[in-house]
Each structure stands twice: as C-alpha cells, then as structure tokens.
C-alpha cells in the first residue's frame, strides 16, 4: 500500500506540473480581465538591465500569475469560498447584506495633509477658471458622491467608511475654492437637504443612478444660471419619461463579485418627452444620434457604458439651437449620464475624458472652442487628484 501511495503521489505531483506547463504554453493569450475590469500583465521583454537586476523574472512571474491556466474559474472558486467562509471583505469588496462596497484601508486623517492637497487642487482649478473667465465663460467644479460616500452608513462598524475623511475633504475643498474665488458645487451636501444621496447610489457599482445624474444636472445648471444670468432651459423630471431596463446590471464592484452575487439591480434611462434632434461626433467621427447604448435584448447584461457608450475621449453634440450657449463637461465616468441630459439644454455639448484624450491639452481645447460653460465633474475619491481628469494642464 505504501508503495502504491508513493507512486500515485509522484504521478499526481508530476502530472500537475506537466499539465500546468502544457496549459500555460497552449493557452490563448488575453489582454484584459473582464471580471476584474483591468489590463492583464503584458509579456515582459528581456533587456540587459532587467535581466541584470532580476526585474525581468519578477515581471515574468507577474505575467504568468495573470495568465495562469483556469485563472478565471479559480478566481470564481476562490470568491465563492471566501463568500461561504463569511469573510466581510472579498476581493477588496465589502460584502454587506444589501450592497457591495469598496474596501477602504485604515489610516489616519490628517487635516493638515487634506488642506494641503485641497490647496494644490484649488490652485490647479483656479488656473482653469482664469482661462475660462478670460473670454467671459463660466467655470464650475462639481463634486459628486461616489458609492462609499452615499452608503457610508452601510459599512460594518469595524470597517473604515471614510465618513469623517469625506467630511474633512469636502469642507477643506470648499474653503480652498472660496479663497480662490472658483465656483464650487458639492452635490453631496446639496442632496443632503433633500433626502441624501443614498437613494441615488448603486448597490453594486461606484456610480450614481440616472436619477442621481439628473439631480447633478439640475444642481449644476441651477447654479450656473444663478451665477451667470445665462438663459438656457433646465428640464424637470416632468419633462422626461423614466424607463427601467429589464436587463441585469453588471456593476463594477469586481463585476458584481464575478457575477456570483445575485443582487439584482436595473439601470434606468431618462427619455425626453419632447426629443431634441442632434448630431453626435465621437473623436471627430459621426456617431449617430443616440446617447444610450441600449442592449440587443433583455437577456444581455448591461454595465455603466449604457450612458454615452462609456468613457470616450471626446464627444461633441450639436442641436443646432444657436440661441443657446455651449457647454464643455469633463471628468471621469460620472459625467456620462449627465451628458445624456445636458445636450437638451445647450446648443453644443462638448465632453472630454482627459484619461483618453490626446489631441491637445484642456486649456488649449477651452481656448479653441470657448464654451460659455465649462464644468468639471469629479467624485469624492478623486476630488483632490490633479492628474487624469483633474485637468492638471
């Protein structure tokens, strides 16, 4: 019996290694992990320096881990095991009874640091504000709540919800912007007066709902109209029909925990009762005349790219109503559902995603097109980050 066991052990061990090697060599290569919403490590190229300091083999280990045979299946298996074991955080996602929330690391909230970052960001925005006001335009920096802010109360008591930090950031940013005379809108604070932002926050994704986007649209335009005296229509909810799609929403919280969690949620769209004809260009190319990327059928899962087709470097929408002003909206994906509504109030609507746009800098774009309104929309996580869509030009 001992001899049989030893033979079997050796065969299983060697078989595992051989099968793993073969599967690794024969596997189809992928660049993106859909479920993790990230790029997979690229095959490293050896160079004299990387071989000399060992970084080549470190990169190779990362590459092999990312492209391991059966990786997605094993990732799902691990996730299922972690959920079964009752871990409060799975794949950096806090699993509560109702929601999937981001895990926020523990740390110290230093008022001094927050004030410093707020000051740096406000300096950056003051530069953009100066460029816009120079030709008579109006700049507004709108900060919107992300999921962790809206659903801070849902975190278990022992996990960090960053509630205090969010308050400190918001107050510090408002102070810094006021000191520099840059218009600032805290959507979270504004919504707190009307039932709070939780009603608009997704349970499985970082972004707000279509209704949250509508509130953001309304607040931005009301403040812009009040500050500038410009005339443009601000639509109310009565001007729209709310349509909820029957499709399953695959939120971004680790793609709804690798689609193992059946927390059903649907996305909605707002359709104007009086449609406004328009033409749309994405990155300089004609792109039809829709603002929603609707699924082919009710069985197809939808994600946040439903709005405007996702993060596109540059979109321009013309409605041919020259009596109305033009607007430039830039920011992260929170801008997308707002853009689905904004074009209804303007002649020209420009949108930029500076993470992808490479043709020119933000200030050059503003100087070239001179939109009457320039609005930057960022969420609480990134409100003090000058890179990417912070517009650090």
Partner 1 sequence: MVFSSLLFLLFFLPALFLCYFCIPRRFRAGRNGVLLAFSLFFYACGGVSYLPVLLCSVAVNYLCGLMAAPGRAQAVRRAGLWGAVVLGLGLLGWFKYAGFLSANLSRLGVRLDLPQIVLPIGISFFTFQGLSYVIDVYRGDAPCQRNPFYVALYVALFPQLVAGPIVRYSTVAQEITGREESLSQFSQGAVRFLFGLGKKMLLANAMGEIADAVFAQPPAFMAAATAWVGAAAYTLQIYFDFSAYSDMAIGLGRMFGFHFLENFDYPYIAQSVTEFWRRWHISLSSWFRDYVYIPLGGSRRSPARNLLNLAVVWLLTGLWHGAAWTFVLWGGWFFLLLAGERLVWGQGLARLPRIFRHGYVLLAVMASWVLFRSPDAAYAAAYFQAMLGLGGGTDGQAVYCLLQYWPEWTACLIAALPVKRWLEARLPEEGTGFAAAVRTWFPKLAALALLTLSYVKLASGSFNPFIYFQF
Q: Does 26 bind partner 1 (CB under 8 A)?
A: no
Q: Does 298 bind partner 1 (CB under 8 A)?
A: no
The residue among 101, 72, 102 whose CA lies nearest residue 259 is: 72
CB of 43 to partner 1, least distance (A): 13
CB of 64 to partner 1, least distance (A): 4
Spatial neighbors of 168 by CB under 8 A, at least 6 apart, are 109, 111, 114
Task: Copy the structure tokens of residue 371.
Answer: 């939109």
Q: Does 14 bind partner 1 (CB under 8 A)?
A: yes
- Give the whole-angstrom CA distance, residue 393 versus residue 387: 9
Nearer to partner 1 by Cβ, of 65 and 242: the residue is: 65
- Give the whole-angstrom CA distance, residue 383 versus residue 117: 10
Nearer to partner 1 by Cβ, of 32 and 51: the residue is: 51
Nearer to partner 1 by Cβ, of 157 and 273: the residue is: 157
Q: Does 105 bind partner 1 (CB under 8 A)?
A: yes
Which H or E element spans position 94? strand 93-95
The residue among 365, 329, 322 whose CA lies nearest residue 346 is: 322
Q: Does 32 bind partner 1 (CB under 8 A)?
A: no
Stretch 79-98 residues interacting with partner 1 (CB under 8 A): 85-89
The residue among 389, 352, 356, 350 whose CA lies nearest residue 370 is: 350
CB of 120 to partner 1, least distance (A): 23
Q: Which stretch binds partner 1 (CB under 8 A): 99-107, 137-145, 237-245, 337-345?
A: 99-107
**Binding mask 140-179 vs partner 1 (x if CB under 8 A, - otherwise)?**
-----------------xxxx-------------------
**CB–CB of 147/101 below 8 Å?**
yes
**CB–CB of 131/367 below 8 Å?**
yes
- Residue 68 has a CB neighbour count (10 Å cut-off) of 15
- Give the whole-angstrom CA distance, residue 207 versus residue 213: 9
Among 42, 77, 192, 271, binds partner 1 (CB under 8 A): 77
Q: Does 12 bind partner 1 (CB under 8 A)?
A: yes
CB of 216 to partner 1, least distance (A): 32
Q: What are the residues binding partner 1 (CB under 8 A)?
A: 1-3, 5-10, 12-14, 16-18, 20-21, 24, 51-54, 57, 60-62, 64-66, 68-71, 74-75, 77-78, 85-89, 105-108, 157-160
């Amino acid at each position: 019996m001992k001899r049989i066991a030893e033979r079997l052990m050796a065969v299983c061990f060697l078989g595992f290694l051989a099968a793993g090697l073969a599967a690794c060599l024969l596997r189809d290569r992928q660049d993106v992990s859909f479920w993790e919403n990230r790029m997979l490590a690229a095959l490293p190229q050896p160079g004299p320096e990387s071989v000399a300091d060992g970084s080549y083999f470190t990169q190779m280990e990362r590459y092999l881990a990312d492209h391991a045979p059966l990786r997605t299946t094993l990732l799902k298996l691990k996730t299922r095991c972690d959920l079964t074991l009752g871990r409060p955080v799975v794949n950096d996602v806090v699993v509560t009874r109702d929601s999937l929330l981001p895990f926020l690391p523990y740390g110290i909230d230093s008022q001094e640091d927050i004030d410093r970052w707020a000051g740096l960001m406000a300096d950056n925005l003051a530069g953009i504000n100066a460029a816009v006001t120079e030709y008579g335009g109006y700049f507004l920096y709108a900060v919107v709540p992300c999921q962790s802010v809206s659903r801070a109360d849902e975190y278990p008591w022992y996990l960090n919800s960053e509630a205090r930090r969010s308050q400190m950031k918001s107050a510090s940013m408002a102070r810094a912007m006021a000191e520099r005379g840059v218009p600032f809108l805290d959507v979270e604070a504004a919504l707190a007066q009307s039932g709070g932002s939780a009603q608009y926050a997704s349970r499985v994704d970082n972004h707000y709902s279509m209704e949250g986007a509508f509130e953001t649209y309304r607040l931005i335009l009301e403040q812009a109209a009040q500050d500038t005296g410009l005339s443009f229509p601000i639509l109310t909810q009565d001007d729209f029909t709310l349509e909820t799609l029957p499709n399953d929403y695959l939120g971004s919280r680790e793609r709804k925990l690798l689609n193992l969690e059946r927390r059903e949620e649907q996305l909605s769209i707002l359709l104007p009762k009086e449609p406004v004809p328009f033409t749309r260009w994405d990155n300089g190319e004609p792109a039809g005349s829709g603002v929603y990327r609707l699924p082919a059928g009710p069985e197809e899962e939808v994600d946040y790219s439903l709005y405007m087709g996702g993060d596109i470097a540059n979109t321009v929408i013309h409605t041919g109503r020259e009596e109305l002003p033009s607007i430039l909206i830039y920011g992260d994906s929170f801008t997308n559902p707002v853009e689905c509504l904004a074009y209804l109030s303007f002649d020209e609507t420009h949108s930029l995603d500076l993470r992808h746009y490479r043709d020119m800098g933000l200030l050059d774009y503003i100087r070239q097109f001179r939109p009457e309104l320039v609005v930057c929309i960022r969420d609480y996580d990134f409100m003090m980050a000058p890179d990417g869509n912070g517009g650090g030009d």
